[in-house]
A and B are shown apart, each in its own frame.
Chain A
């Protein structure tokens, strides 16, 4: 089925360890996003990539880096994990048709990350 695929689904890290969350979409969307979801805080944007070759910071970028590897793939890296980065991470993508039609967002199933 077409959509957004995230790996891994679950991960436990020790403080200071690094890891990369992978995301791929097969809908030929130009834009991709990384969000984190925390109880009481809702969904917050970490980074986004409006098109291949560009990335921009969102609301909570500290402690993260991203790479738009190609049009399909957008990865999120934690260089030195901290307990405050315990969260559920969602990747999403969206497309645009013509000048006026902005498509909806499609989300992956999420990565549940625990940093101990």
Chain B
């Protein structure tokens, strides 16, 4: 059974710092991996989608990498801002089921 783990569960950083969020998964037979952002009381906003054949995707200050063989993905946020404060969720898509989520990393960026 696929399990997705996100470490750390919470992270606090000062504004301007570069940071890395980690995601690991136990079964490497995935179609793709998706990173989401969730603000308190709100829905999920898709940030980046990495297909299993890809190594990384970039969008603005965000860069996500995927190492399928080792079951790991990272989300790199450059020059963090208070507006980046949210919960970040990692999820994997594989055959025979739907998206499987980690429990998220709650990020707080202080000004």
Contacts and interface: CB of A to CB of B under 8 A. Distances in A.
Contacts of B98: 31, 33, 45, 48, 58
A104 B43 contact: no
Given A102-B93, A109-B42, A92 B99 contact: yes
Interface residues of A, number: 23
B31 A102 contact: yes
Given A105-B34, A106-B46, A109-B43, A45 B51 contact: no
Contacts of A109: 42-43
Interface of A: prevailing SS? strand
Nearest to B43: A109
Contact of A104 (B49, B100, B101): B49
A41 B100 CA distance: 12
A33 B21 CA distance: 26
A7 B75 CA distance: 32
Contacts, number: 52
Given A42-B104, A90-B43, A90-B44, A105 B99 contact: yes
B32 A104 contact: yes
B51 A101 contact: yes
A41 B43 CA distance: 16
A107 interface: yes
Contacts of A33: 98-99
Interface string B90-101: 010100011111
A43 interface: yes
Given A43-B91, A105-B93, A107-B43, 16 more contacts: A33-B98, A33-B99, A40-B103, A41-B103, A42-B102, A43-B101, A45-B99, A58-B97, A90-B43, A102-B31, A102-B93, A104-B32, A105-B34, A105-B46, A106-B46, A110-B43
Interface of B: 31-32, 34, 36, 42-44, 46, 49, 51, 53, 89, 91, 93, 97-104
6 contacts: A42-B102, A45-B97, A48-B98, A58-B97, A94-B93, A104-B49
